Every structure is written in C-alpha cells, then in structure tokens.
Amino acid sequence: MEKGRVKLSIMGISFSQVQAGAYALIFSEENGIRRLPIVIGTPEAQSIAIVMEGITPPRPLSHDLMCSIFKELNIKLKEVVIYKFEEGAFFSELLLEHKDKEYKIDSRTSDAVALAIRTNSPIYTTEEIMQNMAIIFDEQATSAQDDSSGDDIEINNEEELSSLRLDALKHRLRDAVNEENYELATRLRDEINRRENRS
C-alpha cells in the first residue's frame, strides 16, 4: 500500500437521531483505533446494510445491477479511494480495470462503498483525511469523568453546540466516542475543527 494511505473496514451503520433520513457509516482503520464516520442517505444506507446482513432482494438494486454489468463485461473494481473532504462532503473514486487498462471514475462515497462491499474490493482513504476527520476510539477509556463543570448538557441543536467551550467540546467528544454515539461525535468533531482552523 502506498505511503499516506489508510485501509478501512466497515464497522457498521448508525441511525442519525438529529438529521432525518440520514445515517452515519462508520469505518475503522486497519490495525488502528481511529474511526471515520461519514453521513449518508437512507437509500444508500439500506443498500449497504442488506449486504452486511446477508439479505438478497427479490430484484436487483441499482448497485447490484452495476456489479452485474461489471461481471458480464469483465470489469474489475480494484479499489475505492476516499480522497478528499471539501465543503462538508467526502469525495471518492473507483479504480476499475478492464482489458489491462485502468480507469478512475468519480463517485459519491456511499455509492462507491455499496459497490466495494458487493465485490469485496478494498477501501482506502488518505492519512490527511484520517488526521483531520477521524475520531480516536480508545477501548480502555471509561466514560466516567471527574469534571462536574455543568458542561455535560444534552446537545439538541447547533446553537447549543456552538455555545460550549473548546475544552468542553473535546470532553463531550470523548464521551460520545466511548458511548459509540458516532453521529454526535461527528458533529462535535466538525465544531472543534472549525474553531481550531479559525485560530
């Protein structure tokens, strides 16, 4: 594997309690403790989940159809690369091989993952994305905290989130990760990144 690339595994899909019709697709790095949550829509989440759960739909879904086309035309999906995060969106590309030629095709990350999981193709991202967007999950950490500063409030909207101090946000991020509440952790991570980038 090239230097600066990180191989990912799909951990699972978490329902978003804040954004209606959205889910968080959770990746883990191979042989590491970082987690990368990516928000996806309901159809894409369902398309990925049915493969994870071993369900065969009565008729092919769009991603099944694409894989059937790949198979019939002898096209191999060599890998998926999540290569950029910009303006709130992750960018991915498919690396296809056909008749000894390689093709890079731009794709939504959710579609790329839905194809990768059907073809057992590896998924990679960059070390830069992991450093900026991943959440460190320490299984030895405990959610018990000695801080009784009153910052352990329930975060219901972005206005409440923006009112918290930076140290309180990091405190809540640790709690959210320990509780495996990746959707909240994603929102906290984004707010922390916004503030640290301003300074």
pTM (predicted TM-score): 0.71
Q: What is the mean pLDDT of residues 56-78?
A: 93
% of the chain exceeding 70 in pLDDT:
80
* Domain spanning 5-133: CATH 3.10.690.10: yes
Q: What is the mean pLDDT of residues 177-190?
A: 73
> Is residue 134's pLDDT more than 50?
yes
**What secondary structure, in 3-state letters, does the chain show?**
CCCCEEEEEEEEEEECCCCCCEEEEEEEECCCCEEEEEEEEHHHHHHHHHHHCCCCCCCCCHHHHHHHHHHHCCCEEEEEEEEEEECCEEEEEEEEEECCEEEEEEEEHHHHHHHHHHHCCCEEEEHHHHHHHCEECCCCCCCCCCCCCCCCCCCCCHHHHHHCCHHHHHHHHHHHHHCCCHHHHHHHHHHHHHHHHHC
Q: Which residues belong to CATH 3.10.690.10 in the chain?
A: 5-133
Average pLDDT along the chain: 81
pLDDT of residue 139: 54
Q: What is the mean pLDDT of residues 190-197?
A: 78
Residue 43, judged by CB atoms within 10 A of its CB (0-12, 13-18, 19+), counts as: middle
Model confidence over 81-121: pLDDT tens digits? 999 999 888 999 999 999 999 999 999 999 999 999 999 99
Model confidence over 149-182: pLDDT tens digits? 333 434 444 556 666 777 777 777 777 777 767 6
% of the chain exceeding 90 in pLDDT:
40
Which residues does residue 101 pair with via DSSP β-bridges, in sequence order? Answer: 98
